[in-house]
């Protein structure tokens, strides 16, 4: 097992903090608000790699579930498990891991590859997010008035796809620059 050093804990803490701050930049547009969290979840994997990046997003999710108001709208606690947005939070962990895994050994990757890798991070976010939205709505929120998968997609992906693609492209561009700067300064 690889040991996490003090500087790693510092960078992980910074990513957790950025995830929490990004949740407060929120525009409610239905059951799933628009936030900058996906940008920082993808960025954490790009900068920290699969293990540490997913650890940062996992710590963020755990903090919120345990009661710290770090989620969109200041939400926190176990009640978030019954929220239609919780699947997106789970998706952040898997997105960080996937993106981190795809860019590990990244010294020679082109900017285009960084962008494509960051775009791949949207997959786990949407898969977990929409699946959980569908499940929680039909089992907890309105079991007497269930929605179909097309409706879940309508509320869980369609309003966000264009902005999320832009955020992912920006994560790819900034992730490459930030990673190189941190590597050059021996932070990573």
pLDDT digits (tens, 9 = 90+) for 15-25: 999 999 999 98
Q: Closest Cα partner for 71 from 129, 22, 27, 124?
A: 22
Largest Cα–Cα distance in the chain? Answer: 57
What is the mean predicted confidence (pLDDT) over 132-160? 94
Q: Quick one: pLDDT at residue 94?
A: 98
64 or 186, which is more confident?
Answer: 64
Of the pLDDT bands very low, low, confident and very high (cuts 50, 70, 90), residue 1 is low
pLDDT digits (tens, 9 = 90+) for 40-81: 999 999 999 999 999 999 999 999 999 999 998 889 999 999
Of the pLDDT bands very low, low, confident and very high (cuts 50, 70, 90), residue 149 is very high
Beta bridge partners of 27: 34
Residue positions counted in the chain: 188
Query: What tokens were used for 124?
Result: 């786990």
Residue spans of the domains in the chain: they are 6-184
Residues 6+ apart with CB under 8 A from 168: 38, 39, 42, 115, 118, 119, 121, 122
pLDDT digits (tens, 9 = 90+) for 75-118: 999 999 999 999 999 999 999 999 999 988 766 678 899 999 99
Of the pLDDT bands very low, low, confident and very high (cuts 50, 70, 90), residue 139 is very high
Burial class (CB within 10 angstroms; exposed 0-12, middle 13-18, buried 19+) of 177: exposed
pLDDT digits (tens, 9 = 90+) for 169-182: 999 999 989 988 88
Task: Give the span between the Cα atoms of 188 and 184, in whole angstroms.
Answer: 8
What average pLDDT does the chain have?
91
Q: Quick one: pLDDT at residue 147?
A: 95
Architecture of the domain spanning 6-184: Orthogonal Bundle (1.10)
């Amino acid at each position: 097992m690889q040991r996490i050093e003090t500087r790693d804990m510092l960078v992980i803490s910074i990513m957790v903090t950025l995830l929490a701050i990004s949740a407060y930049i929120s525009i409610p547009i239905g059951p799933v608000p628009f936030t900058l969290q996906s940008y920082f979840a993808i960025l954490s994997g790009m900068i920290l790699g699969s293990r540490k990046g997913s650890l940062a997003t996992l710590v963020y999710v755990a903090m919120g579930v345990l009661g710290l108001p770090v989620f969109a709208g200041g939400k926190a606690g176990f009640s978030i498990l019954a929220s239609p947005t919780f699947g997106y939070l789970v998706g952040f962990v898997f997105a960080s891991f996937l993106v981190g895994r795809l860019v590990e050994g990244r010294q020679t990757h082109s900017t285009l590859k960084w962008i494509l890798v960051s775009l791949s991070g949207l997959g786990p976010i949407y898969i977990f997010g929409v699946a959980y939205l569908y499940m929680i709505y039909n089992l907890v929120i309105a079991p007497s008035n269930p929605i179909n998968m097309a409706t879940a997609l309508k509320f869980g992906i369609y309003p966000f796809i264009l902005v999320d693609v832009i955020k992912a492209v920006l994560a790819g561009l900034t992730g490459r620059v930030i990673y190189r700067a941190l590597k050059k300064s021996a932070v990573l």
